[in-house]
Amino acid sequence: MNIGFSVASAINLALVVLCLGVLVQSVRLDRRIRALRDNNLGEAVFRLDRATQQARLVLDDLRFVLANDVTARSEGAAAAEAMRDELAMMVDIGNSVAERISEAASQAQAAEVAARTRATRAGLEAQAERAGEDLAPAPAPTLAPAPALASARTTELSSRVFDILSAHVPRDTSRGSAVA
């Protein structure tokens, strides 16, 4: 029975040690609770509650600002896309007009060269007749002077450019700009 007594004594001894540990922890916990009461626990809770309320107000303001900012940015993006499309259309029209003007200028230069060639040929024929030689079997037709021909061609080109622009650029009278 010696073994049974020593096991029972060991368990009792372990239980005494654990009870002493609980007693020490209870004293420490009691001291901390008294310290919290002395340090105005109510005031600390009030400050924490006030900080929480301020954080909620800031979060509400932040939500409002973000909601409005997203709306404003989406409207700005839509307006920017509309302007980009309108600008792309204007660039296309401008390129088309530039090509037509270039073609018309080339035609005007060719017409001017032809007129000068004819005038030079007519002058050579006139000199040949005076000299008694006949270089051309048929007389040259009478042509308008080169400056008058160039002025008429410029007027014609200007009217073509105006016709092209007025036919390809519809106007929105409410805004005063081209509309896609």
Condensed to tens digits (0 to 9), the pLDDT of residues 97-109 reads 889 888 888 888 8
Q: What is the pTM of this model?
A: 0.34
**Could you count the other beta carbons within 10 Å of the beta carbon of residue 104?**
18
pLDDT at 136: 47
Helix (H, G, I), strand (E, B) or coil at 178: strand
Please tell me which residue, 89 or 71, carries the higher pLDDT value. Answer: 89
Per-residue pLDDT at 50 exceeds 80? yes
Please tell me which residue, 21 or 47, carries the higher pLDDT value. Answer: 21
Please tell me which residue, 21 or 127, carries the higher pLDDT value. Answer: 21
Q: To the nearest whole number, what is the mean pLDDT of the chain?
A: 79
Distance, in Å, from the CA atom of 156 to the CA atom of 145, rounded to the nearest integer, reads 17
pLDDT at 169: 55
Number of separate helices (H) and strands (E) present in the chain: 3, 2
Q: Which of 73, 74, 89 is nearest to 172 (CA)?
A: 89
**Could you count the other beta carbons within 10 Å of the beta carbon of residue 115?**
19
Per-residue pLDDT at 32 exceeds 70? yes
State the average pLDDT over residues 158-179. 60
